[in-house]
């Protein structure tokens, strides 16, 4: 064969746009691309490797002949079309939460659990953005010492909520900068919820809807997905997810407890310095640590500010940053496709 | 007597300006005010209760006849002039870190340890902004159940770094909003450090200089001041302090462990609903939780998102927000003055 036929569903969205960019540099042969979106976006013209590609409406038949379909158009679109794509022979890599906790669906961060791809039944789920970067940073430590506990507080960027949320933040920021005291808010913290609050020059401790125990779905995603990806239900995980006025780049303040009393910060750094997908940026004396603005456009997960807890010997703190649209979404999805290709797991 | 003679040192700064506002509504008699600042600011005219007051240069003799001197002009000014003021009979309420850990200096959050004022020797320290709001939120819980552990991640506003840092953030935001990709940074994360990074649409995991164990001084302040204010060296405290692009209002994601396995979220809420200085804003079903934008200009500490840890029975998470210039600085200082007056601890 001379390459795969690809489809990107949600091609005009914040993540879809980045998926196309990542596919342009993907490490597998591409015979053709098909860009799918809503009826409203059909007819728009996008570019792929300097060729014009017209956006088509997503329909079941659009997946005829497609080998790999990357979905990022919301959970309801995935629920509606992913199985249609599989029925027509495609492998679906789904960036929504629709199938993540389905026991028949592998939930994959290639640096962590690529082996889980072997058992796929057509759909592979891409984890939540906040979960992915935490897994990349923590897996080398878990493998060496075992992980007993994670407490994470996130500082999440607005691009994770889509293009319109970004536009709204910019309008709000402009208004506040010229001295307006009231600004309109129609999207964040969560388009599906009732009340909306400004994000510009603010921090919103709600991402997604509220669920059991006063935790949001975003927080539960971090808890449940961590246990599935690390294949260990005994790790204690709690999360507090917060949106802050950053364009792209999620940051996380992570506390972890390992099953080892003798490890030092130097040991942890030694594990991370050559870890796959990790860039260690941790030189306090030189003010070297990750920031979201510096991480934008990069595929790596940046780790810094590694410290031993002041009182708990097996406890460590760290600061983990990655581009939520890349490693948190588009790049991890394309990376899964690269793994499927390398492992010969795509029907063609 | 017909009231106290007051001095505000650093009257033209971000906190000084708020101190003047708070003094206008203070609950004790004021005979006169004196606004002190650097030589550069001397001659500026400020307003107090609709009267014009000319700013004077800070000198030792400026404190002659002053009963209460509120300092907020940086640690070196406090070190230079606080004892001069005390020598001349003033009680100093110092908002810098200069004397906070001095064992002869009470470090006071009136809702928590007002009694410590009784032993003052002329100088009383106002705690770090991030510490104060955490103390207000946690003291009612500590009193009832005992506190075993605190892990806090902060989301700190730019006004804590002063007026010029705020101006810089606004200039950076304006430049980024019109599409510039490089912006100048000369102040944050820390004026006294070598490298500077943009704060607009960014998050900086450094506040103050780096110190022992990879922790910043800001983080050590939260650790050490907590133990001093709660008068308990056994509480385990670790902090990660992060600056985010918010004008005013510090937010904190706090994990706490109490010495009691049977307490519920309802029990914690019952402790906080009538706690001094606390406003409980915790109705997930109605999207009711604190945000910095909503807390600006208010004296209270707002607490929400109270949840039991998913795995640890005596562990709880919460989200605590307060105006860092008010309860975190100016209001707490004026509140200390009110306490001193009520407890008859001011020489006059």
What is the DSSP code string of A291-332?
A: -HHHHTT--SEEEEEEEE-SS-TTEEEEEEEE-TTIIIIIHH
Those residues with Cβ within 8 angstroms of residue B272's Cβ, 6 or more apart along the chain or in another chain: B137, B140, B141, B278, B280, B303, B306
Do the strands A301-308 and A315-322 form a parallel or antiparallel pair, or are they unpaired? antiparallel
In a domain, A348, yes or no: no
Q: What is the pLDDT of residues A63-109, one digit of tens each?
A: 999 999 999 999 999 999 999 999 999 999 999 999 999 999 999 99
Contact yes or no for A236/A259 (Cβ under 8 A): no
Quote the strand ranges of B193-281, DSSP E.
236-240, 250-258, 278-280
Do the strands B147-155 and B123-125 form a parallel or antiparallel pair, or are they unpaired? unpaired
Distance CA B68, CA B93 (A): 7
Q: Which residues of B touch A286 (CB under 8 A)?
A: 195
On whether both B145 and B118 belong to a single domain, the answer is: no
- Token pair in block for residue A276: 């796959």
On whether both B121 and B236 belong to a single domain, the answer is: no
On whether both A243 and A270 belong to a single domain, the answer is: yes
- Is A148 near chain B, with CB under 8 Å? no
Q: Which of B129, B190, B241, B341 does the annotation list as catalytic?
A: B129
Tell me if residue A129 is catalytic.
Answer: yes
Q: For residue B6, give how far its alpha carbon lies from the nearest alpha carbon of chain A (Å).
A: 33
Contact yes or no for A71/A11 (Cβ under 8 A): no
Q: What is the pLDDT of residues A321-335, one digit of tens each?
A: 999 999 999 999 999
In a domain, B347, yes or no: no
Give me the pLDDT at residue A346, please.
95
Distance CA A181, CA A245 (A): 17
- What is the rounded average pLDDT for all residues in chain A? 97
On whether both A301 and A195 belong to a single domain, the answer is: yes
- Is B173 near chain A, with CB under 8 Å? yes
Is B12 marked as binding a ligand?
yes
Q: What is the arithmetic mean of pLDDT over B148-166?
A: 97
Residue B148 CB neighbours (<10 A): 16
* Helix/strand/coil percent split, chain B, to 5: 35, 25, 40
On whether both B118 and B137 belong to a single domain, the answer is: no
Say which CATH number the domain at A307 has. 3.30.360.10
In chain A, how many domains are there?
Answer: 2
Give me the pLDDT at residue B100, please.
98
On whether both A196 and A311 belong to a single domain, the answer is: yes
Residue A155 CB neighbours (<10 A): 26
pLDDT-above-70 percentage for chain A: 99
For A151, the closest chain B residue by CA position comes to: B255
Give me the pLDDT at residue B196, please.
98
Phi/psi at B287 (nearest 5 deg)? Answer: 55, 40
Using 50, 70 and 90 to split pLDDT, how confident is the model at A1?
low
Q: What is the arithmetic mean of pLDDT over A213-231?
A: 98
Chain B contact probe: residue of A153, A207, A322 with most B CBs at under 10 A: A153
In a domain, A103, yes or no: yes
Q: What is the arithmetic mean of pLDDT over A224-235?
A: 98
Q: Which of B5, B67, B120, B250 does the annotation list as catalytic?
A: B250
Distance CA B243, CA B204 (A): 5
On whether both B182 and B282 belong to a single domain, the answer is: yes
Give me the pLDDT at residue A34, please.
98
Predicted confidence (pLDDT) at residue B1 exceeds the cutoff of 70: no
- Smallest Cα–Cα separation from B42: which of B11, B1, B3? B11
Phi/psi at A278 (nearest 5 deg)? Answer: -105, 140
Give me the pLDDT at residue A181, please.
87
- Write out residues 95-134 of B within 8 Å (CB-CB) of A: none
In a domain, A316, yes or no: yes
- Token pair in block for residue B300: 């209270």
Give me the pLDDT at residue A347, please.
81
Say which CATH number the domain at B10 has. 3.40.50.720
On whether both B184 and B248 belong to a single domain, the answer is: yes
In a domain, B348, yes or no: no
Give me the pLDDT at residue B2, please.
84
- Token pair in block for residue A346: 């795509």
Predicted confidence (pLDDT) at residue B283 exceeds the cutoff of 90: yes
Instruction: Count CB pairs under 8 A between chains A and B.
Output: 167
Is A100 marked as binding a ligand?
yes
On whether both B110 and B194 belong to a single domain, the answer is: no
On whether both A161 and A253 belong to a single domain, the answer is: yes
**A95 lies in which domain range?**
4-127+329-342
Tell me if residue A250 is catalytic.
Answer: yes
On whether both B160 and B250 belong to a single domain, the answer is: yes
Quote the strand ranges of A178-266, DSSP E.
236-240, 250-258
Q: For residue B32, give how far its alpha carbon lies from the nearest alpha carbon of chain A (Å).
A: 34
The helix-helix angle for A14-24 and A331-342 (nearest 10°) equals 40
Q: What is the arithmetic mean of pLDDT over B260-284?
A: 98
Q: Which residues of B touch A205 (CB under 8 A)?
A: 251, 253, 289-291, 304-305, 319
Give me the pLDDT at residue A160, please.
95
Predicted confidence (pLDDT) at residue A115 exceeds the cutoff of 70: yes
Contact yes or no for A99/A225 (Cβ under 8 A): no
Query: A151 vs B151: CB contact, 8 Å cut-off?
Result: yes
In a domain, A42, yes or no: yes
In a domain, A347, yes or no: no
Give me the pLDDT at residue A2, please.
83
Those residues with Cβ within 8 angstroms of residue A344's Cβ, 6 or more apart along the chain or in another chain: none
Distance CA A298, CA A149 (A): 29
Q: What is the arithmetic mean of pLDDT over A191-207?
A: 97
Q: Which residues of B touch A293 (CB under 8 A)?
A: 197-198, 201-202
- Is A290 near chain B, with CB under 8 Å? yes
- Is B265 near chain A, with CB under 8 Å? yes
More confident residue, B287 or A182: B287
On whether both A114 and A251 belong to a single domain, the answer is: no
Say if residue B194 is exposed, middle or buried (CB neighbours under 10 Å; 0-12, 13-18, 19+).
exposed
Query: A312 vs B285: CB contact, 8 Å cut-off?
Result: no
In a domain, B66, yes or no: yes
- Token pair in block for residue B154: 């902060």
Do the strands A51-54 and A45-48 form a parallel or antiparallel pair, or are they unpaired? antiparallel
Distance CA B270, CA B145 (A): 13
């Amino acid at each position: 064969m001379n390459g795969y036929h690809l489809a990107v569903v949600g091609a005009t969205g914040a993540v879809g746009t980045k998926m196309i960019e990542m596919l342009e540099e993907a490490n597998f042969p591409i015979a053709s691309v098909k860009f799918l979106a809503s009826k409203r976006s059909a007819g728009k013209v996008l570019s792929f490797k300097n060729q014009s590609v017209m956006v088509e409406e997503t329909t079941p038949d659009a997946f005829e002949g497609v080998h790999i379909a990357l979905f990022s158009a919301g959970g309801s679109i995935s629920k509606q079309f992913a199985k249609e794509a599989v029925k027509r022979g495609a492998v679906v890599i789904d960036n929504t939460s629709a199938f993540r906790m389905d026991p028949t669906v592998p939930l994959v961060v290639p640096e962590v659990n690529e082996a889980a791809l072997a058992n796929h039944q057509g759909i592979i789920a891409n984890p939540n953005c906040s979960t992915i970067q935490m897994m990349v940073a923590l897996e080398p430590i878990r493998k060496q010492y075992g992980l007993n506990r994670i407490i994470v507080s996130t500082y999440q960027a607005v691009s994770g909520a889509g293009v319109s949320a970004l536009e709204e933040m910019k309008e709000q920021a402009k208004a506040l900068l010229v001295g307006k005291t009231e600004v309109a808010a129609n999207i964040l913290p969560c388009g599906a919820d009732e009340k909306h609050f400004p994000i510009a020059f603010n921090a919103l401790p709600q991402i997604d809807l509220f669920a059991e125990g006063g935790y949001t779905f975003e927080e539960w995603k971090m808890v449940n997905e961590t246990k599935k990806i690390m294949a260990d239900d005994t790790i204690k995980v709690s999360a507090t997810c917060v949106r802050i006025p950053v364009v792209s780049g999620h940051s996380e303040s992570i506390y972890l407890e390992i099953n080892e009393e003798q490890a030092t910060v130097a040991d942890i750094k030694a594990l991370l310095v050559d870890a796959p997908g990790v860039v260690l940026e941790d030189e306090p004396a030189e003010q070297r640590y990750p920031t979201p603005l510096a991480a934008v456009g990069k595929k790596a997960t940046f780790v810094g500010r590694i410290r031993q807890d002041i009182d708990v010997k097996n406890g460590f703190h760290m600061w983990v940053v990655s581009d939520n649209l890349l490693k948190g979404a588009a790049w991890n999805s394309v990376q899964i496709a690269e793994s499927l290709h390398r492992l010969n797991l795509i029907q063609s």
